[in-house]
Amino acid sequence: MRNLLLYYIAILLPVGILIYLYAEDHIGFTVFLILIIAYLLIYRTWTDGSRLASKGIISRQDRWKMMLPGMHMKHFTELYLK
């Protein structure tokens, strides 16, 4: 995922869908909360790690390390600006 626009779409679209589903009462608060936590812990770890791996900054085996505190800040420029 080297294209920055596609990366932003990939990380923002699921949140938008979740907010829409919650606002339209298609899902309850508990389900919404579980899905947001899964988004943060699983989906964002995977997408951020995949972006860094495709850019050659980390290896594919180290994608799970994006879950560790501070890793998003360490790679902030590479993830969100370049």
Q: What number of other Cβ atoms are within 10 A of residue 48's Cβ?
A: 23
Backbone torsions φ then ψ of 26, nearest 5 degrees: -85, -25
The pTM score is 0.77
pLDDT tens digits, one per residue of 19-78: 999 999 999 999 999 999 999 888 988 888 888 888 888 887 877 877 777 777 777 777
Task: Please tell me the predicted confidence (pLDDT) of residue 53.
Answer: 85
Domain boundaries, the chain: 4-80
Residue 55's Cβ-count burial label (10 Å; 0-12, 13-18, 19+) is middle
pLDDT at 1 over 60: no
Residue type, 43: Y
Q: Specify the 3-state DSSP secondary structure of 81.
A: coil
